[in-house]
Structure 1
C-alpha cells in the first residue's frame, strides 16, 4: 500500500454533465472577473484616498502658515498704529511755539537772552 494507485475514472458524456462543466467554467470566470474588479476598485480607492489625504495635509500646512503670517502682520499693524499715534502727537506738539522753544534749547543748545547753558553729562546706569 505504499505506492499510490491512480484511479482511472471515465467521465460520463451526457448533456447534463457538459452543462455542469460549462457552468463551473462560467462561475470560475465570474469569480475571476469579480476579484479583478474588486482589486482595481481597491487600487483606485487607495490612490484617491492618498490624494485626498495629501491634499488635506498640504492645505492644513498652508493654512497654518497663513495664520502665523496674519498674526505677525497684526502685530506689525499694532506697532505701526502706535507709531502713527506718537507721530500725530509730535505734530500737534510742534504746532506749539513754547514746545518748539524748549526743543531747540534742549537739542540745539539755543538760549533766550540772558540765559547761560550748562551742559551736564547724564550718568550712565550700569556703573
Structure 2
C-alpha cells in the first residue's frame, strides 16, 4: 500500500480486509510459483547436464572402439597375408625340386658332380 500519512486513519471494514487478504494471497502464490519454477529449472539443468555428459563420454568411447577396430582390421589383413604366404611356402616345400634348390642356395649344398663357387658381390659405386 505504501507510506501512510500521519494524519489519516485507516478504515477497518470488511471490504478492505478482504482486499488486503486477497493481495497477500496473490503475493504468496506468486512467490510459491517462482520457487516451483526455480526448482524445476534447477532440476532440468541437472538432468540436461547429466545427459550431455553421458552423451559425450559415450561418443569418446565409440571413437576409441572405432580406432581399436581399425587397428585390429589392419592386423588381421597383415596376418591373412602372412598366412597365405606360409601356405604357398608349404606347397613349395612339398616339391622336391624346390627343396633341392633351397638347400643349394641357402646352405651351399651341392649335387653330385657340382662345384660351388662363392663369388663376392660387387659394391655399388657412390
1-structure distance, mates of 2:122, 2:16: 116
CA distance in 1, matches of 2:95, 2:52: 65
**Distance of 1:125 and 1:56 partners within structure 2:** 61
Residue 7 (1) aligns with residue 5 (2):
yes
> 1:113 aligns to what SS in structure 2?
coil
CA deviation profile, 1:78-120 (whole Å, cap 9, x unmatched): 0000000000000000000000000011111110011011122
Aligned partner of 1:3 in structure 2 is none
Q: CA deviation at 1:38?
A: 0.5
- Give the match for residue 119 of structure 1: 118
**Gap runs ≥5 in structure 1:** 1-5
Distance 1:82 1:65 in 2: 26
Take 1:11 and 1:126, find their aligned partners in 2: how far apart are those partners? Answer: 120
- Count of residue correspondences: 122
Please state how far the C-alpha of 1:124 moved relative to its aligned partner. Answer: 5.6
Residues 16-40 of structure 1, C-alpha deviation per residue, up to 9 Å, x if partnerless? 1111111111111100000000111
- Residue 63 of structure 1 aligns with which residue? 62
Could you say what the CA RMSD is over the residues aligned between the two structures, in angstroms?
1.6
Q: Cα–Cα, structure 1 residues 81 and 14, in superposed 2: closer, same or farther, change >3 Å?
A: same
Structure 1: how far apart are the matches of 2:121 and 2:79? 31
CA distance in 2, matches of 1:45, 1:115: 91
TM-score (norm. length: structure 1): 0.90
Gap runs ≥5 in structure 2: none
TM-score normalised by L of structure 2: 0.90
The alignment partner of 2:12 has SS state of: coil
